[in-house]
A = this chain, B = another copy of it.
């Protein structure tokens, strides 16, 4: 099978699993639905709609709404960056920000440095745009990295790792998607604070509020900003005025009654996902004792590698058997720049499924594993 058709096969299996309510979903990196602030977003929607002239329903400017950009910049300044309000470009989620950043800083055929395992949609983007993702310390045109809470491992770079990354002296796409969900506390100092002349900073509200809004952002070095806006304009004119207006109202706490602030919300989310990570970690340890994994420092998932006797198991066969046992996960090949299907590794998301389902799901997965190991 080609790499593309392997991805299509996995996609088809995961879609069927997602449509079946009996299957416990440990795939996809989706935020917990129970944490969506539905009432607060509804109130923000109604307030946004009641503004004179209803700008939330009208066209807006390519760079995004002034108020939302100011809010994003302020949060980055609080973390040590010198970001000015007018440097922020609002995008359709982090993915579009990564796509624009990649186009700005590389050409077809260029090598892009990535972690040994990384965000699948970034890898797919690079392949679609004929950039070549490569893990390791070789010479590259650009690095794509998640310094604060990586995907799929959920780890944050320590000071030495940060220094090593910056010392490579190439442009860096800093994908900050999970930074606010570092369990131990607030998001760390972003890379852009230390190298604003070559860091393209990418963020999103998809993990902390709602992916359905499709609101992310991009901050580029000054010299690239004008071209970034041209690419954004050519791509789709602008991000949704409506979802921007909802977010702006929500973040400024417009008319907040009993609602928590966004920062208070983040404290709740960190505790919520940390608890779930612990539940899944314990279940994994209990039921698949020969598997290797590191407790994540944040985010939505655990990256787990099969023990010695399972290393050569085919991940697609394992996925099919798991779905038959009502568990779905993300196979490891999706996260590898090489697309290698072995040694067997999987991403298990603890973020979406009800917490009480995590342990039983691991028990079923272990049964499947023992069977396919025979």
Q: Which residues of A contact B (CB under 8 A)?
A: 15, 28, 30-31, 33, 36, 38, 41-42, 45-46, 49, 53-61, 91-93, 95-96, 99, 121, 124-125, 128-129, 206, 210-214, 230-231, 233-243, 245
Known: A33-B54, A42-B49, A54-B38. A214 touches B240 (CB 8 A): yes
State the Cβ distance, A126 to closest chain B Cβ, in Å.
9
Give bound CA distance, A235 to B100, whole Å.
8
Known: A45-B45, A49-B38, A49-B41. A60 touches B233 (CB 8 A): no
Minimal Cβ-Cβ distance residue in B for A18: B61
Known: A125-B234, A236-B93, A237-B95. A213 touches B57 (CB 8 A): yes
Most buried by B among A206, A236, A239: A236
Classify the secondary structure of A's interface with B: helix
**What is the total number of copies of this protein in its complex?**
2
Kindly list 16 other residue pairs between chains A and B, CB separation below 8 angstroms, not including A42-B49, A58-B210, A214-B240: A15-B61, A36-B57, A41-B57, A54-B212, A57-B211, A92-B240, A93-B236, A93-B237, A95-B236, A128-B230, A212-B242, A212-B245, A214-B237, A214-B241, A240-B243, A242-B243
**Contact status B28-A59, CB under 8 Å:** yes
Give bound CA distance, A233 to B36, whole Å.
24
Give bound CA distance, A54 to B242, whole Å.
18
**Contact status B213-A242, CB under 8 Å:** yes
Most buried by B among A58, A129, A239: A58
Give bound CA distance, A306 to B230, whole Å.
31
Give bound CA distance, A210 to B214, whole Å.
17
**Contact status B46-A30, CB under 8 Å:** no
Which residues of B are found within 8 Å of A55, using beta-carbon distances?
212
Q: Which of B46, B206, B235 contacts A42 (CB 8 A)?
A: B46
Q: Which of B28, B206, B240 contacts A212 (CB 8 A)?
A: B240
Give bound CA distance, A235 to B239, whole Å.
13
State the Cβ distance, A328 to closest chain B Cβ, in Å.
14
Which residues of B are found within 8 Å of A245, using beta-carbon distances?
212
**Contact status A212-B15, CB under 8 Å:** no
**Contact status A234-B128, CB under 8 Å:** yes
**Contact status B57-A99, CB under 8 Å:** no
**Contact status A240-B240, CB under 8 Å:** yes
Give bound CA distance, A210 to B230, whole Å.
23
State the Cβ distance, A338 to closest chain B Cβ, in Å.
19
State the Cβ distance, A259 to closest chain B Cβ, in Å.
15
Give bound CA distance, A92 to B237, whole Å.
9
Minimal Cβ-Cβ distance residue in B for A48: B212
Which residues of B are found within 8 Å of A240, using beta-carbon distances?
92, 212-214, 240, 243
Which residues of B are found within 8 Å of A121, using beta-carbon distances?
233-234, 237
Which residues of B are found within 8 Å of A230, using beta-carbon distances?
124, 128
**Contact status B59-A129, CB under 8 Å:** no
Minimal Cβ-Cβ distance residue in B for A53: B33
State the Cβ distance, A164 to closest chain B Cβ, in Å.
29
Minimal Cβ-Cβ distance residue in B for A46: B42
Which residues of B are found within 8 Å of A38, using beta-carbon distances?
49, 54, 57
State the Cβ distance, A319 to closest chain B Cβ, in Å.
18
**Contact status A212-B59, CB under 8 Å:** yes
Which residues of B are found within 8 Å of A54, using beta-carbon distances?
33, 36, 38, 212
State the Cβ distance, A220 to closest chain B Cβ, in Å.
16
